[in-house]
């Protein structure tokens, strides 16, 4: 693993741990924690793509596809969490 991959993975691990801690502790999650979990997972995926043996064009397309998919999924999930009262707005 590259240094960037290790750092991205550590960031993602921490964000997921914080997400789980909040949801199990109070049954709710802060919007900041939700966003950090999404962003760190996205960065981890992009670092893995960067370290792959794909061509530069394939890496670009893969990163764009991952970015779009992650944001669309997170948007739907976040909406559901807001509607259920599980997400605490922090922005």
Please tell me the distance from the alpha carbon of residue 80 to that of residue 4, in angstroms, as a whole number. 32
Query: What pLDDT score does 91 carry?
Result: 64
| Residue 60 Cα distances to 26, 33, 40, 44, 55, angstroms | 40, 27, 18, 15, 9
Give me the domain span that covers residue 57. 3-88
Query: What pLDDT score does 45 carry?
Result: 94
pLDDT in tens, the chain (91 residues): 889 999 999 999 999 999 999 989 999 999 999 999 999 999 999 999 999 999 999 999 999 999 999 999 999 999 999 999 999 888 6
Please give the model's pTM, rounded to 2 decimal places: 0.84
Number of domains in the chain: 1
């Amino acid at each position: 693993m590259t240094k960037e991959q290790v750092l991205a993975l550590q960031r993602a691990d921490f964000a997921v741990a914080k997400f789980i801690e909040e949801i199990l502790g109070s049954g709710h999650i802060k919007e900041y924690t939700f966003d950090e979990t999404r962003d760190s997972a996205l960065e981890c995926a992009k670092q893995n793509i960067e370290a792959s043996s794909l061509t530069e064009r394939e890496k670009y397309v893969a990163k764009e596809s991952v970015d779009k998919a992650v944001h669309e999924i997170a948007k739907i999930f976040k909406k559901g969490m807001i509607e259920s009262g599980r997400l605490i707005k922090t922005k």
